[in-house]
Amino acid sequence: MRQWETYLHSEQPDVLIQLAIVHAEFEALHPFLDGNGRLGRMIIPLFLYERKLLSHPAFYLSEYLEANREEYYERLLAISSDHDWTGWVAFFLKAIAIQARENTRKARTILQLYEHRKRWIVEQTHSQHAVSTLDFMFRQPIFSGADFTKIPGVPRPTARRILSEIRREVLREVRPSAGRRPAIYAYTELLNAAEGREVF
């Protein structure tokens, strides 16, 4: 682990090839009893952010790795069995390129959705607080009715009215209210856009 950490913080000619090696070596070391896969995937955006290749540590490579799980494990195993670093690095760089394009597509879809719903919510509610409530849903697409009424700067009665006016069209009730327990809502359009497929 000390050698891995030294390499992680070293300056190498190609940052993405360095990241491919860092990820593979972490998976080979398997330093913890549980969670090594998740931690190994978390290292990817954190490393890219630390090297200033991302403005935020929000690069989701797991989608590609899960979709190509068999090849992913074969390429990792081939490093130890055949010393095939070239095959692994080629696979990893391809994963980065494809996922970057997919993430860009999703970001554009989310921005288009935001612009569309911003016009819609203003027309629907005729409230000066409409955009604040939309911004809240984009920050927190799964929320309770109680959370919605606590949006900073939005009066509670206004928030309740807006929630009542928009929930039929854009929200799905995940859990109904019961007694003092508030209802839980999901902003399905945003969640589906973020996933790139219909999940709700």
- Give the pLDDT band (50/70/90) at residue 197: confident
The whole-angstrom separation of Cα 18 and Cα 187 is 38
Cα 15 from Cα 188, distance rounded (Å): 37
Domains and CATH numbers, the chain: 2-103 (1.10.3290.10), 127-195 (1.10.10)
Residue range 144-183, pLDDT digits in tens: 999 999 999 999 999 999 999 999 999 999 999 999 999 9
The structure tokens listed for 53 are: 């290749």
Angle at CA 47, nearest 5°, toward 41 and 53? 120
Strands 142-144 and 171-175: unpaired
Percent of the chain scored above 90 by pLDDT? 96
Phi and psi, residue 178, nearest 5°? -150, 115
Residue type, 135: D
pLDDT at res. 52: 96
What is the distance between the alpha carbons of residues 93 and 17, in angstroms, rounded to a whole number? 8
pLDDT over threshold 90, residue 124: yes
pLDDT (tens digit, 9 = 90+) per residue, 70-109? 999 999 999 999 999 999 999 999 999 999 999 999 999 9
